[in-house]
Each structure stands twice: as structure tokens, then as C-alpha cells.
Amino acid sequence: MTQTPVFLGLAARASAHDMDLVSLSVGGDRNAFGELVRRHGSRVRALLRRMGADPAMADDLAQDAFLAAFEQIAEFRGEGAFAGWVGRIAARLYIRRWRREARMPLGAEATDEDTDPRMRETGANTRIDLDQALKGLSKVERLCVSLCYGAGLSHAEAAAALNAPLGTVKSHVKRGLDKLKGALVAEPSPSAQERAYNE
Amino acid sequence: MSDRHGSDRTLEARLENAFAESPVFADADVFALRVHDALERNWLVRRLVIGALGLAGGLIGVVQLLRSGLVDHLGAVGGAWRLVNNDLTGLPVARIFSELFGAGPSTGAEVLWMSGAMAIIALGLFVTRAIREF
């Protein structure tokens, strides 16, 4: 890590490395942390939406995740990306709420009823659009896939977070991957993703 | 993640990339501002709570000190010191003590003056801190 100045101006903050901003945040610099939020907020919000949260809930949980991250910022050692670290905090917050609201027993077999019918008709030539592709998964599959590939949890960590058997999580992930395989066949369509977020 | 095997490696890697490459939301700055405001609010509440607890603790401490008769005790100790000092002025040790500490420990009135001065200093520090923070 480079030597971090005690205070950074607006322009310097905008160009500072994440770890420098983290160091400043450890010292209580809320403006430096604000820059981290500006940089990585979208990714955390997108992860929560992909896990199945509606936009309003995703924003609330992302905000709570960043506030929690600020409290624990001294624990971030920079082993991974900052966004990934906050993403894991956000994912655990979402799981806590998901379990509290008991939306669906995790052991339940996924059915096609809670998937987007358009996705069931998806052909092999469909362009990659992760958000559209995830709509083709059941809620539980979507949650498990997002936890493992979006939040970076291992199957075992996801099972522990969900308080579910490891085998159950693995089978949900496997089924989810099988469904995604058909949808994610070509290069992503940035315009489609941009449209989805900015709607 | 060691528990991922097989021919799905490519798909898994692409999936991880797709998750990592999120587009920037149109309201990213608004969201950042919202988090920043929440942080400031939390900070303010925390400062007020700590300040209030410190004030309450200080008041309780002062009341307890006054109720314990500390001022009277100190006055009595000061009187006793003067008696001892008068009897032992010829001894070198007592002379040294006398030069170091003057007439002995403070009387009740001096303690009150010192407390008042410290309270004013503490108030000054609080005001400068408050001006800096708000």
C-alpha cells in the first residue's frame, strides 16, 4: 500500500486507489468512504437485485451493508476487492431478511412456476444478459447462484449462511447453472443491461 | 472454491465475470449521497449519545464527591498538615516538603476554586470541539 495522506481533496479522492481510500476511512474520513460508495455502490445494489431483492429493498440493504462496512472497515485487509467484501456483507444481510420473511423453504424443489416464462423459451442464440438469464431461474436457484458466483461464497459458506444442507445448496446451484448454460451463450449486451438498471 | 469441478469451469468463470461487471446505475451519485447522509446522521447521534453519557457521568461523579464530604475531609487534612508542619519545622525533611508544597494540601475553598477552573477549561474544550464538529 502506498503512503496515504491524512486528507485528500475532491480530485485526489476521485483518482485515489481503493486501498488508500480504505486507509483514510479507517481514520474516520467519511468523504473517502463516500468515494468508495460512489465507485462500488452499483455493483452491490446489482448483486442484491440479482439475488432476488426488489429495487427498493436492494437499495436499503446496500445502504445498510455500506454502513456496516464503515463500522468494520479496519477489518478489511485488501485480500480481495472492496466491492466483493461489501457484497458479502450485503448478501448476508439479504439472507437474514430472506430467512426472516420465510419466503420459501430452501429444501423446496424448484419449479418453473416462479421463473420468467420468456426465459423458458430462451434459445441457444440468445445474447448474454445476466439479469435476464437469472429471471429464468427459480428464486432459490437464483439466490444460490448469486451467492456463489456474485458474492463469492463457497458452496459450504452459502449453505452455512442459508442454514441449509450443503447438498441442497449444491443441487440448487447445479440446476441453476444448467438453466443458465442455455442462456449465457454469447457475449453480453451492455445496452440491454444498462436499460434494465436504468429503467 | 475447491468444490467446483468439471466442465462447467468456463461457464462459472464467465458467470463470475458477468456478476463483477455491473453497469453503473444512473442514480449512483444519489445513492452515494444517501449513504453519506446516513453516515453523518449516525455520527451525529453517536457524538450526542457519548456527550450526553459523559455529561451525566460527570454530574453523577461531582454529586457523589460532594455528598461524600470530600471537601470537609480535605479541609481537615489541611489543618492537620499545618499542625504537623508547625511542630516539625526544624527538621530538614519537613522544610523540603514545605518548600515543595507550600503550606500543605489545599483547603476546601481552594479545592472548589480549582474545580471551577477545571470545569471552565473543560467547557472551553467542549465548545471548541463542538464548533469544529458542527
pLDDT, one tens digit per residue, over A76-93 is 988 888 999 999 999 999
Is the Cβ pair A70, B39 closer than 8 Å?
Answer: yes
Which tops the pLDDT comparison, A72 or A2? Answer: A72
Q: How far is A20 from chain B (nearest CA, A)?
A: 18
Q: What is the CATH number of the domain that holds A87?
A: 1.10.1740.10
All residues of chain B having their beta carbon less than 8 Å from the beta carbon of residue A177 are: 8, 11-12, 15
Query: Is A6 in the same domain as A98?
Result: yes
- Least confident window among A45-49, A126-130, A135-139: A126-130
> In which band, very low, low, confident or very high, does the pLDDT at A99 lie, cut at 50, 70 and 90?
confident
Query: Is B117 in the same domain as B75?
Result: yes
Query: Is A94 in the same domain as A30?
Result: yes
Whether residue B122 is contained in a domain is answered as: yes
Query: Is A40 in the same domain as A72?
Result: yes
Is the Cβ pair A149, B34 closer than 8 Å?
Answer: no
Query: Is A82 in the same domain as A134?
Result: no
Query: Is A12 in the same domain as A90?
Result: yes
Chain A interface, best mutation among B19, B42, B50, B133, by max A CB count within 10 A: B19
- The one-letter amino acid code at B4 reads R
Which tops the pLDDT comparison, A119 or B117? Answer: B117
Mean pLDDT of all residues in A124-151: 80
Q: Measure the CA–CA gap between A192 and A189, rounded to whole angstroms.
A: 5
pLDDT tens, chain B, 134 aa long = 444 455 567 888 888 888 888 788 889 999 999 999 999 888 888 888 888 888 888 888 777 777 777 667 777 776 666 666 666 555 666 666 666 555 555 556 666 777 778 888 888 877 776 666 55
Query: Is A91 in the same domain as A187?
Result: no
Write out the residue range of the structural domain in which residue A118 sits.
108-199
Query: Is A52 in the same domain as A8?
Result: yes
Write out the residue range of the structural domain in which residue B84 sits.
69-134
Whether residue B63 is contained in a domain is answered as: yes
Per-residue model confidence (pLDDT) at position B89: 58
Q: Provide Rg for chain A, Cα atoms.
A: 18
Query: Is B77 in the same domain as B33?
Result: no
Domain final residue pick, A42, A74, A103:
A103
Query: Is B106 in the same domain as B81?
Result: yes
Query: Is A12 in the same domain as A94?
Result: yes
Nearest to B43 among A30, A41, A46 (CB): A30
Query: Is B59 in the same domain as B105?
Result: no
Checking ipTM against 0.85, whether it exceeds it is: no
Query: Is A142 in the same domain as A90?
Result: no
Whether residue B1 is contained in a domain is answered as: no
A130: closest chain B residue by CA: B18
Q: Is the confidence at residue A113, as pLDDT, over 50?
A: no
Q: How far is A149 from chain B (nearest CA, A)?
A: 5
Whether residue B56 is contained in a domain is answered as: yes
Structural domains of chain A, count = 2
Structural domains of chain B, count = 2
Q: How far is B53 from chain A (nearest CA, A)?
A: 21
Nearest to A42 among B19, B24, B34 (CB): B24
Whether residue B18 is contained in a domain is answered as: no
Query: Is A137 in the same domain as A95?
Result: no
All residues of chain B having their beta carbon less than 8 Å from the beta carbon of residue A194 are: 23
Query: Is B129 in the same domain as B118?
Result: yes
Give CA separation, B7 vs A177, B13, B46, in Å: 11, 11, 52
Q: What is the CATH number of the domain that holds A120?
A: 1.10.10.10
